[in-house]
Structure 1
Amino acid sequence: MSKKRVLTGVTTTGIPHLGNYVGAIRPAVRAAQADGTESFLFLADYHGIIKCHDPEMIHTSTQAVAATWLACGLDPERTTFYRQSDIPEIMELNWILGCITAKGLMNRAHAYKAAVQENLDKGQEDQDHGIEMGLYSYPILMSADILMFKANEVPVGRDQIQHVEMARDIAGRFNHRFKEVFTLPEVKIDENIELLVGLDGRKMSKSYGNTIPLFETEKKLQKSVNKIITNLKEPGEPKGTDESPLFEIYKAFATADETAAFAQALSDGLAWGEAKKLLSAKINAELSDKRERYNELTANPAQIEDILQAGAAKARKEARVLLDEVRDAVGIRALR
């Protein structure tokens, strides 16, 4: 029985925070360990330069993201772990797919439509003012990422469903026009995905400025936790689990029994300051070993590079076979 292939990409435009860990990294690492699953994970650095024009951020983020996933338990022996830019076959496939992709399909892409609407709202005469081709055509590159490795499932948030659907459309168009080459991927939506709340109770997000960095020192972690909003209830006063984001964050790191005990302690009048100490200790218990591994990796970037290059070699071996089949299908082949 063949294994199910699951492919995930991570854009290299920031430093992972606690919300990334709970919502994406931890569940993906666990899923990759399941029997019957063949996992592919890549650092989407070419996607990163679409919106991030800070070279140092792209570079720094690439190292931080790679180190984070490895520190959190990603096994490069079980998962094909590679950097997008190390697979030139993807860029060649990107061009070939672009040659058969309908412009109308790209016109319907959510990101492009949102950019056009923003121009219209500002009264711009040119609806494409400031829109670059990276933004316009990146669904084709995403399709190349997915189709290159014959992914069966692509775990995405609901805002990314369209991109997998586009990959299916493009693959189907190619298969119909030339030859049955591509596997049509399926969207995988995890209805139980944990969306961690931030310091202010909203979703933890860089754009809100309410994140808790993932691998801070224990002392800095406590300082971040201390910033979580609470009300003015005094020690001894009963507190509900909905009166501070503190409880929801604790829940993401605790067992059901521990969560129930924490809720009871709040109801019994646990002081907010003590509750924050308990939360910090709970987070630290899960992340301390991972933090140590992260620091070891970032202190030795060559070790990260070696792992990425080994993953790239494994990925390219497979990508070359698929690309040769695609080239042959479109008539790009040796003269004999």
Structure 2
Amino acid sequence: MTKTKVLTGITTTGTPHLGNYLGAIKPAIEESWRDDIQSYYFLADYHSLIKGRDPKRIHQSSLEIAATWLALGLDTDRVTFYRQSDVPEIMELNWIIGCMTAKGLMNRAHAYKAAVQDNVENEQNDPDFGITMGLFSYPVLMAADILMFGAKKVPVGQDQVQHLEMARDIAKRMNHHYKTKFVLPEAIVDENTSVLNGLDGRKMSKSYDNTIPMFVPEKKLLKLIRKIKTNSLEPGEPKDPSTCTLFQIFSAFATEEEALAKKAQYEAGAGWGDLKNELFEYLNEKLKEPRERYNELLQDPAFIEAELRKGAEKARAEAAPFLRHIRQAVGIKGFV
């Protein structure tokens, strides 16, 4: 059976939260069990340097993210799970394709244009003030991540679709000029991907400081759930579950039958205090086993390191021969 290669990058800039689980981790792990898909998941630690300036935080984030995916059941024998920095071939490919990437293409990247626009609006004399080459050339490294492994499908948010188009442009240019064999990747944007609301009712995001980390201790989990914003309806008054963050979070983990029963509670006028306590009890039970596994993994970083090294060996077994092909194509090779 011919398998479709699917690649997902995970930026190492924070602690995984419930929104990450619902929007990315859960569907990715479920998909990894499909026999018609060859999955690649990598910790994008070089990408994190674009915004991250705290070495300890970047390092800790890599550990927490790897532990989270492993605790939630990622089978590293079925997938290729690696750290970007453990596959040096990616950075070499980044340079090679960068030498064939038009600056004008990078000028049109949304993140760069937004940064320039901010400077203009703030009346900076230099429109490039504070903009690093990491930010400017980010799409080239993203292209290298994808093109190195011949990924055909790349799940992304709507804001990343442009970068996939750039990766295709770069691949086409390389294939045309050097007769290389880059696969043209396709962006997969799941319009049905669930977006979880945070404590304040906005999208759960580190940027809004409104997240519920996946594996906080029980007392902290209860405290955070009790902080979730609700309306002023009193006990006994019917409540609309479709507009409620509490119900949304519950539904993300519940069966269809459990969600229907909970919906009936809302419509019958259950009090917010009771609903919050019940959500805590339900979530705490669901997360208890993976939380224990997560904490065990954090205490055994050598195991996590071994898993990532195993993944890097698998990744490099593909990357090294492909890079030799690219080197040959561009004229970097020995004389005999």
Matches within 5 A, 1:261-276: 261-276=261-276
The one-letter code matched in structure 2 to 1:81 is F
1:156 alignment counterpart:
156
Question: Alpha-carbon deviation of 1:234?
Answer: 2.8
Report the Cα distance in structure 2 between the residues aligned to 1:209 and 1:333, rounded to whole angstroms. Answer: 50
Q: What does 1:247-258 correspond to in 2, within 5 Å?
A: 247-258=247-258
Corresponding position of 1:5: 5
**How many Å apart are 1:207 and its aligned residue?**
1.4
Q: How far is the alpha carbon of 1:233 from its aligned partner?
A: 2.8
Q: CA offsets per residue over residues 95-119 of structure 1, 9 Å max, x none?
A: 1001110111010111110111111
Alignment of 1:58-137 (within 5 A): 58-137=58-137
| Separation in 2, partners of 1:262, 1:237 | 15
Alpha-carbon separation, structure 1, partners of 2:261 and 2:202: 24
- Aligned positions of 1:286-301 closer than 5 A: 286-301=286-301
Q: How does 1:320-335 map to 2 (within 5 A)?
A: 320-335=320-335
Query: Does 2:279 correspond to 1:279?
Result: yes
Equivalence for 1:17: 17
Does the CA-based 8 Å contact 1:231-1:243 persist in structure 2? no
Map 1:22-61 to 2 at 5 A.
22-61=22-61
Aligned to 1:203: 203
Is the CA contact (8 Å cut-off) linking 1:156 and 1:188 kept in structure 2? yes
* SS of equivalent to 1:252: helix
Q: TM-score, normalised by structure 2?
A: 0.98
Number of the residue aligned with 2:139:
139
Deviation >6 Å, runs of 4+: none
> 1:63-118 CA deviation, whole Å, 9 max, x = no partner?
00110111111111011000000011001100100111011101011111011111
CA RMSD in angstroms comes to 1.1
Output the CA distance in 2 between the equivalents of 1:135 and 1:142.
11
Distance in 1 (CA, whole Å) between partners of 2:217 and 2:10 is 24
Deviations along 1:144-175, one digit per CA (max 9) or x if unpaired, are 00000000100000000011111100000000
d(CA) in 1 for partners of 2:284, 2:169: 45
- CA distance in 1: counterparts of 2:244 and 2:82, whole angstroms: 40
Contact 1:228 1:245 in 2 (8 A): yes
Unaligned runs of 5+ in 2: none
For structure 1, the residue ranges without an aligned partner over 5 or more in a row are none
Residues 180, 329 of structure 2: 8 Å contact kept: no
- Indicate conservation of the 8 Å contact 2:178/2:330, yes or no: yes
Q: Which residue identity lines up with residue 228 of structure 1 in the other structure? A: I
Q: CA deviation at 1:129?
A: 1.1
Using the TM superposition, give the Cα deviation of residue 272 of structure 1 relative to its aligned residue in structure 2, in angstroms.
Answer: 1.1
Higher deviation after alignment, 167-176 or 254-263: 254-263
1:243 positional shift: 5.3
Deviations 1:311-332 (A, max 9, x none): 1011111100110000000111
> Aligned partners of 2:296 and 2:67: how far apart in 1?
9
SS in 2 for 1:273: helix
1:235 and 1:271 in contact (8 A); partners too: yes
CA contact (8 A) 2:67 2:297 kept: yes
**2:180·2:326 contact (CA, 8 Å) conserved in 1?**
no
Cα distance between partner residues in 1 of 2:242 and 2:167: 41
The alpha-carbon deviation at position 242 of structure 1 amounts to: 4.3
The one-letter amino acid paired with 2:285 is: A
Deviation, 1:219, is 2.3
Relative to 1, partners in 2 of residues 1:36 and 1:54: Cα closer, same or farther, differing over 3 Å? same
Contact 1:228–1:244 under 8 Å retained in 2: no
Deviation of residue 305 (structure 1)?
A: 0.4
Distance, in Å, in 1 between the alignment partners of 2:138 and 2:7 is 17
Q: Does 1:241 align with 2:246?
A: no
How far apart, in 1, do the equivalents of 2:243 and 2:41 lie?
38
Q: CA deviation at 1:274?
A: 1.2
Q: Which segment is superposed worse, 147-156 or 286-295?
A: 286-295
Q: 70-79 or 276-285: which moved more?
A: 276-285
Q: Shift of residue 281 of structure 1?
A: 2.1
CA distance in 1, matches of 2:280, 2:125: 52
Equivalent residue letter for 2:175: N
1:231 equivalenced with 2:231 (yes/no): yes
